[in-house]
Amino acid sequence: MSIHASAIVHPSAQLAEGVEIGPYAIIEEHAIIGKGTSIGAHAVIGKWTELGENNQIYHLASVGAAPQDLKYKGEECWTRVGNGNVIREFATIHRGTVTGHAETVMGNNNLMMAYSHVAHDCVVGNGNVFANSATLAGHVTIQDNVILGGLVAIHQFTTIGSYSMLGGGTLVGLDIPPYMIATSGKRDATLRGLNLIGLKRRGFSDESISNLKKAYKTLFMAGLKQADAIAKIRAEIVGCAEVDTLLAFIEASQRGICRG
């Protein structure tokens, strides 16, 4: 363990072996930091924050600060971050609220570039990339292996499906289905098709990609009502896990689905 002499670490904080705390960093009460995690200069780890192993928190980042929610009155709520995440300078993650999940959760191996933000009660999965200044409002769900371009802004209670990609500057107010690309439309996000390059890079089979193409055309280009499109796809494409995932996501959507 290495703690710089100028760092301020609350006595109740729990630090595992191999933790590094840089100059002028602040670790607040009830923080838990897993082995191999490094905290950069002037970074702040708020109270009720749990960091897993081998995370890199860069200088001037803030993880676990109080939520920007006027209803929050200082109740015990948590920020929980998994393993192998990289949180770059000036990035921010806020703890949950009692009117939400009472915790903000991030999984493993995510990259938050400079100035990106995860608000209260968000749930972020694994392997996601937040480019500079990508911003999540409260209660947003980001599934796995999602890429958010710079300056993306996502409305509260929105869900972004796995393996999707949002172009820089996109404003998102509806759910983005998995496997898709969306960019800015006239006002809000607009689907542009499948994230074909991303799917190929992730090793999806040609058959799965072909089935997803067929499903996309039926859902968004055939002029069918959503329920009719889903029924048609289920009748024509059987045994494709990716298509089943896509249809289940659409059926579970509470906000509605972004379209072309």
Say whether 199-252 and 2-142 share the same fold: no
Q: Is 117 helix (H, G, I), strand (E, B) or coil?
A: strand
Q: Which CATH number fits domain 2-142: 1.10.10.10, 2.160.10.10, 3.40.50.300, 1.25.40.10?
A: 2.160.10.10
Q: Is 9 helix (H, G, I), strand (E, B) or coil?
A: strand
Residues 31, 23: Cα–Cα separation, whole Å: 18
Residues 48, 7: Cα–Cα separation, whole Å: 18
218 band by pLDDT with thresholds 50, 70 and 90: very high
Give the Cβ contact number of residue 101 at 10 Å.
Answer: 16
Q: What mean pLDDT is predicted for residues 188-214?
A: 97
Q: What mean pLDDT is predicted for residues 244-255?
A: 98
Domain extents in the chain: 2-142, 199-252
Q: What mean pLDDT is predicted for residues 214-229?
A: 97
Contact 106, 80 (CB under 8 A): yes
Predicted confidence (pLDDT) per residue in 75-107, tens digit: 999 999 999 999 999 999 999 999 999 999 999
* Residue of 34, 64, 82, 121 marked active site: 121
> Is pLDDT above 80 for 186?
no
Predicted confidence (pLDDT) per residue in 120-134, tens digit: 999 999 999 999 999
User: CATH homologous superfamily for 199-252?
Assistant: Udp N-acetylglucosamine O-acyltransferase, C-terminal domain (1.20.1180.10)
Q: What mean pLDDT is predicted for residues 174-184?
A: 97
187 band by pLDDT with thresholds 50, 70 and 90: confident
**Max alpha carbon distance in the chain (Å)?**
66
Handedness of CA 249, 131, 43, 20 (dihedral sign): positive
Question: CA geometry: angle at 118 spanning 84 and 216, to 5°?
Answer: 90
Active site residue 206: no
The answer to whether the pTM exceeds 0.95 is yes
* Residue of 82, 120, 167, 175 marked active site: 120
Q: What mean pLDDT is predicted for residues 43-70?
A: 98
Residues in the chain: 260
Strand order in the sheet with 165-166: 2-3, 20-21, 38-39, 56-57, 86-87, 111-112, 129-130, 147-148, 165-166, 180-184, 189-194
> Is pLDDT above 90 for 190?
yes
Q: Which residue has the tokens 């670490």?
A: 9
Contacts of residue 36, defined as CB under 8 A and 6 or more positions apart, other chains included, come to 16, 18, 19, 53, 54
Q: What mean pLDDT is predicted for residues 17-24?
A: 98
* Residue of 138, 149, 161, 167 marked active site: 138
- Percent residues over pLDDT 90 in the chain: 98
Q: Which residue has the tokens 């859902």?
A: 219
Can you give the pLDDT at residue 201? 96
Active site residue 120: yes
Angle between the N-to-C axes of helices 226-236 and 206-220, in degrees from 0 to 180, rounded to the nearest 10: 150
Predicted confidence (pLDDT) per residue in 62-78, tens digit: 999 999 999 999 999 99
